[in-house]
Amino acid sequence: MKGLASVLGIILLSGCAALAGSLELSIGGGPSAISLDAFNGIIESWNALIGHFNEFAAAHPDVSGSIPTLDLLTTSLVAHAAERYWILDWFALGARFEYEQSKATTSGTYVGAETSRVDIDLEYQTIGLLAGTRILFLDAGLRLAGDVNVGYYHGSLNHSVVFQVPTEYTDAISGLPPEGSGRHSGNTVGFEVGLALDIPFAAGGYLGAAVAYRSAMIDSLTNTAGEELDLDGDGTAEDANLSAISVRFCFSIDIDLSLDGEKE
Protein backbone atom coordinates (compact mmCIF):
# COMPACT_ATOMS: atom_id res chain seq x y z
CA MET A 1 0.00 0.00 0.00
CA LYS A 2 2.80 2.39 0.84
CA GLY A 3 4.45 1.59 -2.48
CA LEU A 4 1.21 2.23 -4.34
CA ALA A 5 0.71 5.55 -2.51
CA SER A 6 4.26 6.59 -3.41
CA VAL A 7 3.69 5.78 -7.08
CA LEU A 8 0.40 7.71 -7.11
CA GLY A 9 2.12 10.67 -5.42
CA ILE A 10 4.88 10.69 -8.02
CA ILE A 11 2.33 10.53 -10.85
CA LEU A 12 0.32 13.39 -9.31
CA LEU A 13 3.36 15.62 -8.84
CA SER A 14 4.55 14.86 -12.36
CA GLY A 15 1.14 15.78 -13.75
CA CYS A 16 1.09 19.10 -11.87
CA ALA A 17 4.59 19.94 -13.05
CA ALA A 18 3.66 19.11 -16.65
CA LEU A 19 0.71 21.51 -16.45
CA ALA A 20 2.84 24.25 -14.91
CA GLY A 21 3.25 27.35 -17.02
CA SER A 22 5.94 29.99 -16.66
CA LEU A 23 6.78 32.38 -13.85
CA GLU A 24 7.56 35.89 -15.10
CA LEU A 25 9.77 38.13 -12.97
CA SER A 26 9.92 41.86 -13.75
CA ILE A 27 11.66 45.00 -12.49
CA GLY A 28 11.40 48.53 -13.81
CA GLY A 29 10.30 52.08 -13.28
CA GLY A 30 9.53 55.40 -14.87
CA PRO A 31 7.75 58.75 -14.55
CA SER A 32 4.31 59.26 -13.08
CA ALA A 33 1.86 62.17 -13.19
CA ILE A 34 0.10 62.15 -9.82
CA SER A 35 -2.82 64.33 -8.70
CA LEU A 36 -2.28 65.28 -5.01
CA ASP A 37 -4.51 68.27 -5.79
CA ALA A 38 -5.07 69.31 -2.16
CA PHE A 39 -1.31 69.62 -1.57
CA ASN A 40 -0.71 71.35 -4.88
CA GLY A 41 -3.43 73.93 -4.21
CA ILE A 42 -1.63 74.83 -0.99
CA ILE A 43 1.74 75.00 -2.77
CA GLU A 44 0.24 77.40 -5.33
CA SER A 45 -0.96 79.70 -2.54
CA TRP A 46 2.50 79.61 -0.93
CA ASN A 47 4.11 80.40 -4.27
CA ALA A 48 1.81 83.42 -4.59
CA LEU A 49 3.04 84.63 -1.18
CA ILE A 50 6.68 84.06 -2.12
CA GLY A 51 6.16 85.99 -5.35
CA HIS A 52 4.55 88.84 -3.42
CA PHE A 53 7.42 89.07 -0.94
CA ASN A 54 9.96 88.85 -3.77
CA GLU A 55 8.30 91.90 -5.35
CA PHE A 56 8.28 93.66 -1.98
CA ALA A 57 12.00 92.96 -1.44
CA ALA A 58 12.82 94.18 -4.95
CA ALA A 59 10.92 97.45 -4.39
CA HIS A 60 11.94 98.21 -0.79
CA PRO A 61 15.27 100.07 -0.45
CA ASP A 62 16.15 98.38 2.84
CA VAL A 63 15.23 94.79 1.96
CA SER A 64 17.00 92.41 -0.42
CA GLY A 65 16.62 88.80 -1.40
CA SER A 66 14.62 86.60 -3.74
CA ILE A 67 13.38 83.07 -3.05
CA PRO A 68 12.55 80.45 -5.72
CA THR A 69 9.00 79.16 -5.82
CA LEU A 70 8.22 75.49 -5.16
CA ASP A 71 7.59 72.90 -7.84
CA LEU A 72 4.20 71.24 -7.62
CA LEU A 73 3.93 67.62 -6.47
CA THR A 74 2.55 66.61 -9.87
CA THR A 75 5.43 64.49 -11.16
CA SER A 76 7.17 61.61 -9.49
CA LEU A 77 9.32 58.57 -10.15
CA VAL A 78 7.93 55.11 -9.53
CA ALA A 79 9.87 51.83 -9.28
CA HIS A 80 8.44 48.31 -9.15
CA ALA A 81 9.22 44.64 -8.77
CA ALA A 82 6.61 42.13 -9.94
CA GLU A 83 5.97 38.47 -10.62
CA ARG A 84 3.25 36.76 -12.68
CA TYR A 85 2.29 33.13 -13.03
CA TRP A 86 0.97 32.24 -16.48
CA ILE A 87 -1.83 29.78 -15.83
CA LEU A 88 -2.68 29.75 -19.52
CA ASP A 89 -0.78 31.00 -22.55
CA TRP A 90 -2.95 34.14 -22.51
CA PHE A 91 -3.85 34.56 -18.81
CA ALA A 92 -1.67 35.26 -15.77
CA LEU A 93 -2.14 36.06 -12.10
CA GLY A 94 0.41 38.36 -10.52
CA ALA A 95 1.55 40.59 -7.71
CA ARG A 96 3.60 43.79 -7.69
CA PHE A 97 5.42 45.96 -5.16
CA GLU A 98 5.97 49.61 -6.08
CA TYR A 99 7.51 52.71 -4.57
CA GLU A 100 6.79 56.28 -5.64
CA GLN A 101 8.30 59.59 -4.51
CA SER A 102 7.72 63.28 -5.25
CA LYS A 103 9.47 66.30 -3.72
CA ALA A 104 8.99 70.07 -3.50
CA THR A 105 11.54 72.28 -1.79
CA THR A 106 12.75 75.87 -1.63
CA SER A 107 15.09 77.86 0.58
CA GLY A 108 16.38 81.41 0.89
CA THR A 109 16.44 84.58 2.96
CA TYR A 110 15.24 88.17 2.91
CA VAL A 111 17.78 90.56 4.44
CA GLY A 112 16.67 93.80 6.05
CA ALA A 113 16.94 95.00 9.62
CA GLU A 114 16.80 91.29 10.40
CA THR A 115 17.32 88.16 8.32
CA SER A 116 14.06 86.38 7.50
CA ARG A 117 14.36 82.76 6.42
CA VAL A 118 12.07 80.75 4.19
CA ASP A 119 12.75 77.00 4.15
CA ILE A 120 10.07 74.61 2.89
CA ASP A 121 10.64 70.90 2.29
CA LEU A 122 7.86 68.51 1.26
CA GLU A 123 8.44 64.85 0.40
CA TYR A 124 5.54 62.60 -0.54
CA GLN A 125 5.92 58.81 -0.80
CA THR A 126 3.61 55.99 -1.83
CA ILE A 127 4.19 52.28 -1.21
CA GLY A 128 1.83 49.97 -3.06
CA LEU A 129 1.11 46.23 -2.93
CA LEU A 130 -1.00 45.11 -5.89
CA ALA A 131 -2.56 41.87 -7.06
CA GLY A 132 -4.33 41.23 -10.33
CA THR A 133 -4.41 39.71 -13.76
CA ARG A 134 -2.69 40.13 -17.12
CA ILE A 135 -4.51 39.13 -20.31
CA LEU A 136 -2.43 38.63 -23.45
CA PHE A 137 -4.08 40.08 -26.56
CA LEU A 138 -1.28 39.55 -29.06
CA ASP A 139 1.79 37.30 -29.12
CA ALA A 140 3.46 37.66 -32.50
CA GLY A 141 7.03 38.54 -31.72
CA LEU A 142 5.70 41.51 -29.76
CA ARG A 143 3.47 40.85 -26.76
CA LEU A 144 0.52 43.18 -26.14
CA ALA A 145 -1.39 42.69 -22.90
CA GLY A 146 -3.87 44.37 -20.58
CA ASP A 147 -3.58 44.61 -16.79
CA VAL A 148 -6.24 44.92 -14.10
CA ASN A 149 -4.98 45.25 -10.51
CA VAL A 150 -6.31 45.99 -7.05
CA GLY A 151 -3.85 47.62 -4.66
CA TYR A 152 -3.26 48.50 -1.04
CA TYR A 153 -1.49 51.87 -0.81
CA HIS A 154 0.35 53.53 2.06
CA GLY A 155 0.99 57.24 1.54
CA SER A 156 3.06 59.58 3.71
CA LEU A 157 4.10 63.22 3.68
CA ASN A 158 7.25 64.43 5.40
CA HIS A 159 7.01 68.19 5.79
CA SER A 160 9.13 70.97 7.25
CA VAL A 161 8.06 74.61 6.97
CA VAL A 162 9.81 77.81 8.06
CA PHE A 163 8.26 81.01 6.64
CA GLN A 164 9.48 84.26 8.17
CA VAL A 165 8.14 87.60 6.93
CA PRO A 166 10.54 90.56 6.59
CA THR A 167 10.13 92.89 9.57
CA GLU A 168 9.80 95.82 7.17
CA TYR A 169 6.54 94.34 5.84
CA THR A 170 3.88 95.85 8.11
CA ASP A 171 0.64 95.16 6.22
CA ALA A 172 -1.71 92.44 7.45
CA ILE A 173 -1.58 89.32 5.29
CA SER A 174 -3.53 86.07 5.33
CA GLY A 175 -2.57 82.59 4.24
CA LEU A 176 0.84 82.41 5.90
CA PRO A 177 1.80 78.75 6.32
CA PRO A 178 2.05 77.46 9.90
CA GLU A 179 5.64 76.63 10.79
CA GLY A 180 6.71 73.22 12.01
CA SER A 181 7.67 69.77 10.84
CA GLY A 182 6.34 66.23 11.03
CA ARG A 183 5.26 63.12 9.20
CA HIS A 184 1.67 62.19 8.41
CA SER A 185 0.52 59.00 6.72
CA GLY A 186 -2.55 57.01 5.75
CA ASN A 187 -3.75 53.92 3.88
CA THR A 188 -6.30 53.13 1.22
CA VAL A 189 -7.36 50.60 -1.39
CA GLY A 190 -7.48 51.48 -5.08
CA PHE A 191 -7.44 49.96 -8.54
CA GLU A 192 -5.26 50.20 -11.62
CA VAL A 193 -5.76 49.40 -15.30
CA GLY A 194 -3.14 49.50 -18.00
CA LEU A 195 -1.60 48.25 -21.23
CA ALA A 196 1.81 46.62 -21.59
CA LEU A 197 4.00 46.01 -24.63
CA ASP A 198 6.96 43.59 -24.45
CA ILE A 199 9.69 42.95 -27.02
CA PRO A 200 11.79 39.75 -26.79
CA PHE A 201 15.54 40.27 -26.90
CA ALA A 202 16.86 36.90 -25.67
CA ALA A 203 15.53 33.47 -24.78
CA GLY A 204 12.86 34.12 -22.14
CA GLY A 205 13.86 37.77 -21.75
CA TYR A 206 11.78 40.83 -22.62
CA LEU A 207 12.17 44.58 -22.67
CA GLY A 208 8.88 46.38 -22.26
CA ALA A 209 6.86 49.47 -21.53
CA ALA A 210 3.54 49.87 -19.75
CA VAL A 211 1.05 52.71 -19.40
CA ALA A 212 -1.32 52.55 -16.44
CA TYR A 213 -4.04 54.62 -14.78
CA ARG A 214 -4.52 54.41 -11.01
CA SER A 215 -7.48 55.59 -8.94
CA ALA A 216 -7.06 55.82 -5.15
CA MET A 217 -7.84 58.34 -2.39
CA ILE A 218 -6.62 58.66 1.20
CA ASP A 219 -9.26 60.69 3.06
CA SER A 220 -6.81 62.07 5.63
CA LEU A 221 -3.24 61.62 6.83
CA THR A 222 -2.41 61.37 10.54
CA ASN A 223 0.75 61.47 12.65
CA THR A 224 1.69 59.08 15.45
CA ALA A 225 -0.46 61.09 17.87
CA GLY A 226 -3.51 60.64 15.63
CA GLU A 227 -3.59 64.30 14.56
CA GLU A 228 -4.79 64.93 11.02
CA LEU A 229 -2.64 66.81 8.54
CA ASP A 230 -3.61 70.48 8.20
CA LEU A 231 -0.77 71.78 6.08
CA ASP A 232 -2.13 75.30 5.55
CA GLY A 233 -3.59 75.76 9.04
CA ASP A 234 -7.15 76.48 7.89
CA GLY A 235 -8.69 73.95 10.27
CA THR A 236 -9.55 71.45 7.51
CA ALA A 237 -7.64 68.20 7.05
CA GLU A 238 -6.14 67.57 3.62
CA ASP A 239 -6.83 64.42 1.65
CA ALA A 240 -4.30 62.72 -0.60
CA ASN A 241 -5.59 62.03 -4.10
CA LEU A 242 -3.30 59.30 -5.43
CA SER A 243 -4.88 59.14 -8.88
CA ALA A 244 -2.07 58.97 -11.41
CA ILE A 245 -0.98 58.04 -14.90
CA SER A 246 2.38 56.27 -15.06
CA VAL A 247 4.73 55.10 -17.78
CA ARG A 248 7.08 52.28 -16.80
CA PHE A 249 9.99 50.73 -18.64
CA CYS A 250 10.89 47.26 -17.48
CA PHE A 251 12.95 44.13 -17.93
CA SER A 252 11.31 40.76 -17.44
CA ILE A 253 12.34 37.13 -17.70
CA ASP A 254 10.26 33.97 -18.00
CA ILE A 255 11.14 30.93 -15.88
CA ASP A 256 9.63 27.76 -17.33
CA LEU A 257 8.20 25.59 -14.53
CA SER A 258 7.25 22.60 -16.67
CA LEU A 259 9.39 19.45 -16.58
CA ASP A 260 9.75 19.26 -20.35
CA GLY A 261 10.90 22.87 -20.63
CA GLU A 262 7.94 23.87 -22.80
CA LYS A 263 5.27 26.35 -21.92
CA GLU A 264 1.85 24.74 -22.11
Tell which residue, 50, 186, 187, has the closest CA to residue 105.
50
Q: How many helices (H) and strands (E) does the chain have?
A: 2, 10
The secondary structure of 49-111, three-state, reads HHHHHHHHHHHCCCCECCCCCCCCCCEEEEEEEEEEEEEECCEEEEEEEEEEEEEEEEEEEEE
Residue 2, in any domain of the structure:
no
Tell which residue, 180, 230, 179, 175, has the closest CA to residue 49.
175
Residue 9, in any domain of the structure:
no
pLDDT band for position 260 (cuts 50, 70, 90): low
Alpha-carbon gap, residue 145 to 196, rounded angstroms: 5
Alpha-carbon gap, residue 123 to 102, rounded angstroms: 6
pLDDT of residue 258: 62
Segment 4-33 shows an average pLDDT of 63
For residue range 61-72, list pLDDT tens digits in order: 999 999 999 999
CATH code of 134's domain: 2.40.160.20
Question: Residue 78 above 90 pLDDT?
Answer: yes
* Contact between 45 and 234 (Cβ < 8 Å): no
Question: Residue 172 above 90 pLDDT?
Answer: no
In total, how many domains does the chain have?
1
Segment 104-133 shows an average pLDDT of 97
pLDDT of residue 204: 80
pLDDT of residue 15: 40
Residue 108, in any domain of the structure:
yes
Residue 11, in any domain of the structure:
no
Q: Which domain holds residue 131?
A: 21-256
pLDDT band for position 206 (cuts 50, 70, 90): very high
Rounded to the nearest 10 degrees, how much is the dihedral formed by the CA atoms of 124, 130, 132, 135? Answer: 50
Residue 10, in any domain of the structure:
no
- The CA–CA distances, whole Å, from 259 to 17, 18, 84, 255, 262 equal 6, 6, 19, 12, 8
Residue 3, in any domain of the structure:
no
Residue 5, in any domain of the structure:
no
Q: How many CA atoms lie within 13 A of 19 on its CB side?
A: 6
Residue 56, in any domain of the structure:
yes
Alpha-carbon gap, residue 169 to 260, rounded angstroms: 80
**Rounded (5°) CA angle 101-102-103:** 130
**Rounded (5°) CA angle 149-202-142:** 50
